[in-house]
Structure 1
């Protein structure tokens, strides 16, 4: 049964899911300086923990997949509300423009953060020279423009959206073929979402893609504009699933139903991935191939089960209007765009401070969110920039509180 929601209906729980995926990414990046092994991050803190490694493994396995699935859902909604031409115009305005402008503004700050991080290992940090080198790198970067930031996800969102629309255009040229494809896809989608074995079924091709990653688990494709095809296929599958589930919202509901076997599946997959992950550094192990395959399959099951469970939890508890959730959902895109330079600079500032890693992680995350939310409310929410990022201008929370008028509608 096709139960496409009204275009005027705001799905609060999916707004919250999208915000959660982006905010989880902020915590993920804030945690990387506390890993017990050096991974090439800007700085390594004096307080580290194995717990951070487990958190990073689990959160990295599903946060972007979750984001792309919800992005596909809302993209299909926007496409049918606005039409093809206006939809493409909105994608350029809300995705391509932030990608290009964000790279120009943020990459020098990120490069300077890496420079200062290396300096901090020697016990000295020179802020202004590092900033100068950061901006110089922007002017001299002709070989890999628009790379080297956390904004790669916008680039892949553009690629996947354009690819999906091209495929749709080709199929719709022949009306009988289009109707046949739609009917079959809808039927398969509903059968897949009903099956208790659905996650295992989709984990198998996902494992095949994971096998071609540069590391065990998902790669971060931020080094080149040449598409990393295994990554693009996985995120494309998530986006396409969300796109199709907007046509069949019952499929989304069935996929995200909270069931004991999904929780058990997730727990077993998480334990297996955590236990197997140390073998990545043991390439000479006699069973290296089997161990890698077992890890990749566990990782794939962990990925899809956590995506389904997260949507189910938010649907269970946040499927109603909530002013705070809506505000954070509106702000989350800006928060994610802005956060990484703040996170890295704060990690450098706290790296040598004699505090427990959990306290420093909380401080770094809290200060980053606080400053970013303040900037959002004062400079973004009610301005033209808020219209670009959120689709419309909205009243500020601080000014509304000051003049005793409602902030959120």
Structure 2
């Protein structure tokens, strides 16, 4: 989702094998921008902003500033969050995996690792040291006031350490771990895992077979179900600050799928029929899951080995795979172009991801006085947040050398 993922660079033709005679004299082929993947990243980044805006005014208190809904429209926001959560971060990991092999091929192991540390580690530190203290200050003020009534004090450093997490930058932390694991596979396991380590562009592009897609979806659903017997929804991982560890099987498997998709040219080889079937399957799975989610107790859907959690895992996996197929084909066929506006949005997407928490918290406090239905406040703040997030991102990337990292 960032420039560090080399999201816009793909080889237009296979490179010749490097060697003493060919390497110095051979020009690298021109790289073509995958504009539809750029546009997918724009859409997914906007969904992140809308997702956290919905959390702000819904019934899921998992954000720096929240106003729990006091009317039925909050349920609509929760449904929106549920659908987003089922696929959008997994899709981000898939896009990241897609551009990882080419980056490693061009740079080699050590430069690849240094590049990931710079382009992922520096934004992570910037969030932890500069942005997170701003987003968490309101919670600190509330807690300090509560403790003051008991005659106790709370220094900010103690609150900061006690409430530590990476916020939305957990994605960057996990992605850095995945990048290191990929590096180790390339260095230590290349012969055993040729599908992950083969030179890019050497395989003929061909779409995955429907049976293989169905088998993967079934395996993912089963893995998610078994994983949630041990790590149910709501579990918190303090080391990485991962807010949704119950989705880890999806994140890891989608990253690997992205790597394989690059090697085998899956996005370019998918047929239009595959995209339509993907949307149809995602819709059918949702309709089949509705009776379960409407009648089951919430505690039974998130794990602990219940049949309802199996149904939830099956729906999430089927919905995610179907939607990824459908959106990939739709954007490739219909949205594979960019004008100046889309180019601007694409260049600043990662900076939006980095800074959007501060923007949303600021808007939340700015409209704290407004008493309105949850959906109305969501719509108002979202309409302001999207352009403001990109404006702030532009300002941040305009800082000296910031565009080299963001």
Common fold: TM-score over 0.5: yes
Residue 369 (str. 1) matches residue 352 (str. 2): no
Q: Does structure 1 retain, via aligned residues, the 8 Å contact 2:279–2:325?
A: no
Structure 1 counterpart SS, 2:31 = coil
SS across alignment from 2:371 = coil
Q: Does 1:137 align with 2:167?
A: no
Find out whether 1:196 has 2:214 as its counterpart: no
Q: Using the alignment, how far apart are the partners of 2:107 and 2:201 within structure 1?
A: 23
Whole-angstrom distance in 2 between the partners of 1:322 and 1:264? 31
* 1:50 CA drift (Å): 2.4
Residue in 2 that maps onto 1:401: none
Please state how far the C-alpha of 1:150 moved relative to its aligned partner. Answer: 1.3
- 2: CA distance, partners of 1:203 / 1:189: 24
Task: String of CA shifts for 1:50-104, please: whole Å, max 9, x gaps.
Answer: 2212211111111111111111112222222333332222111110111122112
1:345 Cα deviation (Å)? 3.5
* Contact 1:76/1:243 (<8 A) preserved: yes
Does 2:50 align with 1:30? no
Question: How far apart in 1 are the matches of 2:241 and 2:363?
Answer: 32
CA–CA separation in structure 1 for the residues paired with 2:231 and 2:83: 13
Alignment partner, residue 242 of structure 1 = 258
- Cα deviation per residue 1:295-327 (whole Å; 9 max; x = unaligned)? 211111011111121111111122124222221
Contact 2:50 2:382 in 1 (8 A): yes
Distance 1:39 1:329, change over 3 A: same
Quick one: distance in 2 between partners of 1:117 and 1:40?
16
Q: 70, 75, 82: which is aligned to 1:50?
A: 75
Change (3 A) 1:18 1:137: same
Instruction: Name the structure 1 match of 2:314.
Output: 297
**Structure 2 CA distance, aligned partners of 1:84 and 1:206?**
30
Q: Which residue of 2 aligns with 1:407?
A: none
The 1:374–1:194 alpha-carbon spacing in structure 2 relative to 1, beyond 3 Å, is closer
Name the SS for the 2:228 alignment partner.
coil
- 1:384–1:54 CA distance, 2 compared to 1 (3 A): same
Say which of 239, 253, 271 aligns to 2:287. Answer: 271
Cα separation, 2, equivalents of 1:96 and 1:83: 19
Q: Which residue of structure 2 aligns with residue 223 of structure 1?
A: 238
| Offset of residue 274 of structure 1 | 4.1
**Equivalents in 1 of 2:268, 2:39: separation in Å?**
16
Given that 2:235 and 2:246 are in contact with CA atoms closer than 8 Å, whether structure 1 keeps it comes out as no
| Displacement of 1:255 | 4.5
Change in 2 beyond 3 A, CA 1:68/1:217: farther
Q: Could you tell me how far apart the structure 1 residues matched to 2:292 and 2:155 are?
A: 40
CA distance in 2, matches of 1:178, 1:203: 21
* Alignment: residue pair count: 365
